[in-house]
Each structure stands twice: as C-alpha cells, then as structure tokens.
Structure 1
Amino acid sequence: MKISTDSHIKKMPPGVLKLLAILFWIGIWELGASMVGNSLVLPSPWTTLTGVAGVVGEAGFFEDLGMTLIRVFGGIAVSVALGAVVGMLSGLNRVLYELMLPFVTVVRTLPVVSVSILINLWIKSGWVPLMVTFLVCFPITWTNVVEGIQNTSRNLLEMAALYHVPFKRVLKDIYLPTLKPYFASALMNVIGMGWRSTVTSEVLANALPSVGMNLYYAKVYLETETLFSWTLIVVICSFTLEKLTVWFLRKIKAGDDYGY
C-alpha cells in the first residue's frame, strides 16, 4: 500500500502537490478558528481574505505599501551591491578580510530592536528601516561571496597563474562562475530577511507612511482581522518578490537550478 501511495504521489505534477499542501494548512487554520470561535483571537481564512480587500480599498494603502517597498528594495539593493563588491575584495585580500570580519560578526549578531533604536537617534525615522535592512542583509551577502571566492578551485587558479592568464580573464572565467550559486543563495536569503527587518524597524522607528505602522495600529486598537490582513499582504508581497527573483536568475542564466 505504501509503495502504491508513493507511486501516485510521484506521478502528481509539482504544482498540484504544492497546492494540496497549502490547502492542508489553510484547513488547519480554519479548524483552529472554528474551535476558538472568536475572530478577535484568531480570524478565519475567509475573514482575513475579506479584510485584505478592505485594506486595499483604503485611501492610503498604496502610499503605505509603496514606501515600504522602496525601503525594502533600497536596503536590499545597497546591501547586495556593497556586499558583493566588498565580499569579492575580502575573499581576494587577506588583510581586508581580517579587517571586515569583526564588523560583519558584530552586525550579524545585533538584534533588530537595538539597531533600530540606536539608528533612530541619529537619522530621521523614515530612513531607519532602509539602514536597518542594509545592516541585516549586508553580512549575508558578504559571507556568501567570501565563501564562494574561498571555494574557487585551486587547480584552476594555479593553472591560470602558470600560463599567465590576465586577472580579468581569471575573474570572468573562474571566479564568477563559482560565485553564481553562492550569490543566488545570498539573494534569496536577503529577500526574506529584508522584508522582516524593514517592517519590524518601521514599527520600532514609527516610520510613516509604512506597512509596519499599520500593523502597529491594528495591534494597539485590537483589530486582529486587520492585523492578519496586513500580515497576509506582506507574505504575498515577499512571496511574489522571491518568485520574480528566481525568474530573473534563470532568465539571465545565472547558473543551474538551485532548488528554489
């Protein structure tokens, strides 16, 4: 019976299996909401979905979402760009690596709460989420790129040195192909981290307009349905951005399928 079941599962298209998994967890959510019987504690999926329509229809929705998107994209873009460049230089230069390592180690361990509060003392609240997102995502990119440089084939590098291959060719034909999967992995990780750190720091810094402050107001006024609705919107946006990134990586032939 087990062999027969496994055989049927393997024959299912991947999309159908993923859809069934999503429906399973929605069913668990619906069951939990039914058992609680109080939307103030746990709204049902349908109530949350209806709330999303209400939130989208509000006057300031697109301004709030737009500003959060700008902060997310800005923080991720700067962290990925600088992380890639400084990571490559650090991987190639031992002195720079040792110089950057303490900074990256400290920043990686700092709580988002502490960073948000400290930065809010120095700059305007609207800029805090962008800066926090950069500080959260930079170590991820830097670490992955450095690891990619360090794992580049020594045999290929020795051969290139033996035949006096110009550094530009070595960088293009040896280092960059090795870095592709490491960079892709970093990019996928910073997308999720970027959303979480941005929205969290928006709440802590009282950044307006923003998605984070809408979450905060919903919590203060005990509007649980609105809180769930905004949370679902964040999840949808993050998921969409992740899928667009995967499509982009494949479109530019950034390497093989990395399993995303």
Structure 2
Amino acid sequence: MLYTVQGIVLRTTDYGEGNKILRLLTREAGKVGVMARGAKKVKSRFGAATQPFTCGEYVYFKSSGLGTLSSAEITYAHNGLHEDLMKSAYASYVAEMADRMLEDGEGSAALYDQLAAALAAIEDDKDAQIVVHIFEMQMLKMAGYAPILEECVSCGSRTGPFAFSAQLGGTLCPLCLHKDAQGIALPEGALKLLRLFTGVDIRRLGATTVKSETKAVLKQCMRAYMDAHIGIAWKARHFLDQMEKYPLS
C-alpha cells in the first residue's frame, strides 16, 4: 500500500553500501521506519530529504516491516540547525526523545506539531533550554508520567512553599518534605514555569526571558524527573553537557 505523510526525520541509519533507514515522526501514522534506497549516493534524489530534522512530504510503499521510500519533497530543511553546533545538539535531543520514547506506530498529529514547532523555535533563536523543557513535559504527558504540580503529591495540600520530588512524582508541601531527602527547593517563579510547561503550545511560544538561577532550578528538576521516570541514557543530552562543560572558544 502507498502512503503519503507529513514527516520529520528523527534519525538515520546507514544500511548497506548506498542505502539509509529513516525513522520518521509523521502526522498521519506516528513513528514509522522506511528504507531510502541509494540515499547515501552523491547524486541521490533523496539526499537532502533524508537529513535529520528535515520536515517534508514523504511517499512510501509498505506491505509489512519497513516501508520503501518512493518520493520526498522538503518543506523545511532546517539548515540553521545543522550550521550551529549548539542548536544541533538541542534539536538532536528533542528528536531523540521522540524516537526513543515512541514505538513504531505511536504518536499523534498534536505531537508531530509540537516537535515541528520545537525545531523551528530552536532554529529561530528562542530559548532552546525552555523549548526543550516544554517538549520534555509534552513527552511525559504522552507517556502518562506527568508530574503533579498543583498540590502536594503526598497529602494533597495546596499550601507552599513547595519542593520538587522527582522520585515521588511532583511537589511536596513543607509538612511532607521529610519524605524525600533529595527534594529540590522550588522558588515560586520556577514552580509557575513548570506548571506552564504542562499546557503551553510551542507554536505560540513568544520571546522568553528567564533568570539564569531559575533556569538552573528548572534544569535540575527536569533532569532528575526524566532520569527517575524514563531512565534512558540520552546521547544528545550527554553531548549538550559536554558542550556546556567545554564551550567552543
């Protein structure tokens, strides 16, 4: 059967001497795998359309197993993500999340739109860390692991100030803070942003200005939560850490 989809290239794998296997997140069919025959060849008609982060219309034939790419037309090449190493690292992380947290056939039009918006926002110089945290929250909601942020995860109290417990799954009130020795102090500004992340549409994200101290707390919370509940050793996140530790001169 022939399928026509709007897709984003999440990852490519070389196969044989001249072929590539693409992992696409599509609006219509969730995550799919397709073989792009001859894509590694210099004059391949699929060369540009099979680069990571590329958004386009992909036509493929599939009866069982992997599909076979028939044609591809680029909508957004996102060249800016390839030309800037830091932007590429952030883009790789959101793409890796979609790839590794979704099984074949999983996904939705809404998630596709959020990933497309995240890539565009990173390329357009919006705060990449904030974009990543919003997408992390989108993926957590999709997986059914969204943190509880409106009340104490232990007793249900709505009286703060709150701390954040990655292990227990959300915020802790002062009376329950002793239940997690690793609880992270959560300033009101950081809590408001975490709550905002659970429902914001990346397509409507405007310019953001977040204090460096607040961003450090957000990063600590989201890292701890992703590690506690998803447990994936993110390759792109490790690369981001190396970039921050040893910045380019």
TM-score by length of 1: 0.23
Q: Which has the higher strand share?
A: 2
Larger radius of gyration: 1
Q: Which has the higher helix share?
A: 1
Q: Relative contact order: is structure 1 or structure 2 higher (C-alpha 8 Å, sep ≥ 6)?
A: 1
TM-score by length of 2: 0.24
